[in-house]
């Protein structure tokens, strides 16, 4: 068999770099076709020199020009593209077998869908695309016979623990029933609890972006690090798991497990619980999906349970982590509610990282944006996937506008959103 030809969307990020680390260990098995970045042309230049892809894409046009100029000084033949068209073109190119979807946030949706529509093998790290467009995404996977493999450590663990790696995505109408027939009772997602698990509740408002981004177990990009600190990451993952595996929210449980050694579990009818364990290192799930169904070295240290000594578990504290409950509620609500939740959260996290919003303001801004957006939401019956996608993208745009507007109104106030507005949170 020839080498697997891979495009990495978001190559300069934490997942992209980990993916390249695994690929570099197995040059006989993998060949890089394209690498992409948003604006970071310097990092992309360094990676292009090392991996010599056919194409490099910078979304930002000026960054792409700079990259071209620098590449012209080398012997490399790499062509440079820019913009979202560039991303979509390398995600769907004929030469490509596999697409690592590791752009952060809603920006990952269209390029990942381009790979889906081209029937590629997709290694999905960009959970936001499933959160925004879960049903549409999964129906396009089925329609175009793409192979969707989960990179997110929890979903990858579930994939390894579910029976026969069988997906209800092959028949989404069956949904949970298909799993129930196979004896599956429940999916149990583990959450580390992030850096503020045991922090005094009264101190949370003063937490800085630097503190929120120093995760105890995983080294990740800034957005997902903040999401881990609020537990919105686990909320997004509950939604991701529900769409990916066709499982109802009441069959998904979240357990806080601070050591992050068990990455998730499947509970079966006969009382068996299957778990996937390992050191917290994203190269494990990345290597698993790159090589699946084979196994390759990932550069990850073997797990030494006697050194770890103990594994702890506790129920999530919803007062400390209101985002988790909001995500469950958005999933129950369905339609565009998860897309609204996602857009509001992206704005809130960005505002927090820009120090325009206190840490506790993230969940407050999401709650009030969700509440207002859901009231204004139109129920639209879609005749085709294109109109459904346009509706999702429009919802994303409108929600962002609203969230920034609500934020601007509240600027200057340490308590970002008024209490009377917050009291309507229960309605979603």
Binding partner selected for residue 15 from Mg ion, ligand NAD, none, CB under the kind-specific 5 to 8 Å limit? ligand NAD
Chain positions 2 to 31 lying near ligand NAD, rule: CB under 6 A, are 10-16
Q: Which C-beta is closer to ligand NAD: that of 15 or that of 275? A: 15
Count the residues in the chain. Answer: 428
Residues 6+ apart with CB under 8 A from 256: 190, 191, 192, 193, 197, 313, 314, 315, 316
Determine if 220 is a binding residue for ligand NAD (CB under 6 A).
Answer: yes
Yes or no: say if 347 and 401 are a contact pair by the CB < 8 Å rule: no
Binding partner selected for residue 340 from Mg ion, ligand NAD, none, CB under the kind-specific 5 to 8 Å limit? none
CA dist 225 and 139 (Å) reads 30
Q: Which C-beta is closer to Mg ion: that of 152 or that of 371? A: 152
Q: Which stretch binds ligand NAD (CB under 6 A): 47-55, 216-224, 344-352, 406-414?
A: 216-224
Of 428, 310, 282, which is closest to residue 366 (Cα–Cα)?
A: 428
For ligand NAD, the binding residue among 47, 125, 238, 337 (CB under 6 A) is 125
Token representation of residue 377: 């939401």
Residues 6+ apart with CB under 8 A from 407: 347, 348, 351, 356, 357, 365, 416
Chain positions 300 to 359 lying near ligand NAD, rule: CB under 6 A, are none
Q: Which stretch binds ligand NAD (CB under 6 A): 32-40, 114-122, 382-390, 407-415?
A: 32-40
Determine if 107 is a binding residue for ligand NAD (CB under 6 A).
Answer: yes
Least spacing, CB of residue 366 vs ligand NAD, in Å: 16
* Residue 55 CB-density burial (10 A; 0-12 exposed, 13-18 middle, 19+ buried): buried
- How many residues bind ligand NAD (CB under 6 A)? The answer is 26
Determine if 90 is a binding residue for ligand NAD (CB under 6 A).
Answer: no
Token representation of residue 251: 């069959």
- Chain residues binding ligand NAD by CB under 6 A are 10-16, 37-38, 40, 59, 102-104, 107, 125-128, 152, 218, 220-221, 223-224, 282
């Amino acid at each position: 068999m020839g080498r697997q030809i891979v495009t990495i969307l978001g190559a300069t990020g934490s997942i992209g770099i980990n993916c390249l680390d695994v690929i570099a260990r197995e040059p006989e098995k993998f060949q890089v076709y394209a690498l992409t970045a948003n604006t970071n042309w310097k990092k992309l230049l360094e990676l292009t020199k090392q991996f010599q892809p056919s194409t490099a894409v910078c979304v930002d046009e000026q960054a792409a020009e700079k990259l071209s100029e620098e590449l012209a000084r080398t012997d490399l033949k790499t062509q440079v593209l820019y913009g979202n068209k560039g991303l979509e073109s390398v995600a769907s190119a004929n030469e490509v077998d596999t697409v690592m979807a590791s752009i952060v946030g809603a920006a990952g949706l269209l390029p990942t869908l381009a790979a889906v529509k081209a029937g590629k093998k997709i290694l999905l790290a960009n959970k936001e695309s499933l959160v925004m467009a879960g049903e549409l995404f999964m129906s396009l996977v089925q329609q175009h016979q793409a192979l969707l493999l989960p990179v997110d450590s929890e979903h990858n663990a579930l994939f390894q623990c579910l029976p026969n790696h069988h997906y209800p995505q092959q028949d989404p109408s069956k949904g949970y029933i298909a799993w129930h027939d196979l004896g599956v009772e429940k999916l149990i997602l583990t959450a580390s609890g992030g850096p503020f698990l045991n922090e005094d509740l009264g101190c949370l408002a003063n937490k800085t972006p630097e503190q929120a981004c120093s995760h105890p177990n995983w080294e990740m990009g800034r957005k997902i690090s903040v999401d881990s600190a609020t537990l919105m990451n686990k909320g997004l993952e509950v939604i991701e798991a529900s769409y990916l595996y066709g499982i109802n929210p009441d069959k998904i449980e979240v357990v806080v497990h601070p050591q992050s050694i068990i990455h998730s579990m499947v509970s079966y009818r006969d009382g068996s619980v299957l778990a996937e364990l390992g050191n917290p290192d994203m190269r494990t799930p990345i290597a698993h999906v790159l090589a699946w169904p084979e196994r390759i070295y990932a550069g990850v240290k073997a797990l030494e349970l006697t050194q770890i000594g103990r594994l702890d578990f506790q129920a999530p504290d919803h007062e400390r982590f209101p985002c988790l409950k909001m995500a469950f509620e958005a999933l129950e609500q369905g339609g565009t509610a998860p897309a609204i939740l996602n857009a509001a959260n992206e704005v809130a996290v960005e505002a927090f990282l820009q120090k325009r919003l206190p840490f506790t303001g993230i969940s407050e801004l999401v709650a009030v944006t969700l509440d207002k957006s859901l009231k204004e939401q139109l129920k639209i019956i879609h005749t085709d996937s294109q109109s459904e996608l346009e509706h999702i993208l429009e919802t994303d745009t409108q929600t962002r506008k609203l969230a920034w507007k609500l934020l601007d109104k509240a600027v200057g106030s340490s308590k970002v959103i008024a209490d009377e507005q917050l009291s309507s949170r229960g309605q979603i």
